[in-house]
Structure 1
């Protein structure tokens, strides 16, 4: 009796033959179109996110290219309390002052960009206002103080004779619950400044309170956080004596 040949006995598989017949065409198509055909290019197409405040820093650099500030001048830098200081230049007549403030920034942001918006100007005096937003975001007073110490280290590594002043974190109605941390951060930085050459602390905290220890509301905008023109006049009166 003759048995019908099985697949194991060598009977060709039409399915296998079909695959083998298509293989050269698949290889040719792959070679013509490239190895990336059919792969989702999402990862390659996604643009890496810019670091925080990069666009603002680029604007500063563009302005510097067309109208560079004077070298060896007095630089105010930091968060929105510097950015919003519209009368900065006129508040310090006879002094070559300019500002590089970017609102919402932390001490860590200033450290990130110091090599671009601080050190290149070779300022003789740098006044820093940071720490307000740090504490509001949950950072500790020691983290704020450590950030300022890092800023001093960065600057003095290149400009060892530059004077660096820390403008005290202000009290405010909007962040009244942070008052103990504000006091502690200011205290830590004041102690640090006392023991280091070319570093000092400017007490703009105390004049913002009345004799009862409450915030002087007349010095602030309606948001209870940022200074109004009268508030900046108070700051200028304190800082002017330190220039």
Structure 2
């Protein structure tokens, strides 16, 4: 107790005056996380910030990329990337930024033009295992994929989304967030990317999962 008191006095900080608890969240994915289709390139991140910040003033989006119009533009959304592209880089980012929570929406490009789309659930599982091994206890929220206006792509998305709950089940610190309820006719800007309305729906779903 005496040591703690001495340290607090030296630093000029006490529990009563400490700032809000920091909550580092890494938005992780492809161009949907970046914000393609959004009028401001903000993706779901701007609306999610508005949902979470009032009750979590220590909120901190983290990542090496920046886009959009919101107080904290950091993220790891990389246009055109597939699951294995993320797998090659994600551990380095997590070690560097130390997020407590990851919001993962990945696989759209695997379904659109990737090789062996039927193996994408296994690739997703490998990415999740890498994260848990590298930084145990990192909380990962895995989204099912938003829909596509391309019929052939949507068939593959449906199969992928059906497999995602099984990928999530049994993995520690991993939770499922269903995004496949977006309306392709109302919520998409083009064949693959949400519009502002669609991103708003994504933000609400993330926020509900996070307790916002």
TM above 0.5, yes or no, is yes
RCO higher in structure (CA 8 A, sep ≥6): 2
> What TM-score do the two structures reach when normalised by structure 2?
0.71
| Alignment-derived partner of residue 61 in structure 2 | 97
| Alignment-derived partner of residue 68 in structure 2 | none
| Structure 1 residues 72 and 120: CA distance shift in structure 2, 3 A | farther
Q: Which runs of 5+ in 1 are unaligned?
A: 1-70, 210-214
- Distance, in Å, in 1 between the alignment partners of 2:97 and 2:133 is 15
| Structure 1 residues 143 and 72: CA distance shift in structure 2, 3 A | farther
1:116-141 superposed Cα distances (whole Å, 9 cap, x missing partner): 32332111111111111012124344
| Alignment-derived partner of residue 86 in structure 1 | 42
Q: Which runs of 5+ in 2 are unaligned?
A: 1-21, 36-40, 54-58, 63-74
- Distance, in Å, in 2 between the alignment partners of 1:139 and 1:202 is 25
Cα-Cα RMSD: 2.1
Q: How does 1:63-212 map to 2 (within 5 A)?
A: 73-84=24-35, 86=42, 88-92=45-49, 93-94=52-53, 95-98=59-62, 99-173=75-149, 175-206=150-181, 208-209=182-183
Counterpart secondary structure, 2:141: strand
> What TM-score do the two structures reach when normalised by structure 1?
0.62
1:175-224 superposed Cα distances (whole Å, 9 cap, x missing partner): 22222221221121211212222112210102x13xxxxx2x22121x23
* Contact 2:47/2:203, CA 8 A, preserved across alignment: no
Once the 2 structures are TM-superposed, how far is the Cα of residue 101 of structure 1 from its aligned partner? 0.5
Greater alpha carbon shift after TM alignment, 71-80 vs 122-131: 71-80
User: Which of the pair has more CA radius of gyration?
Assistant: 1
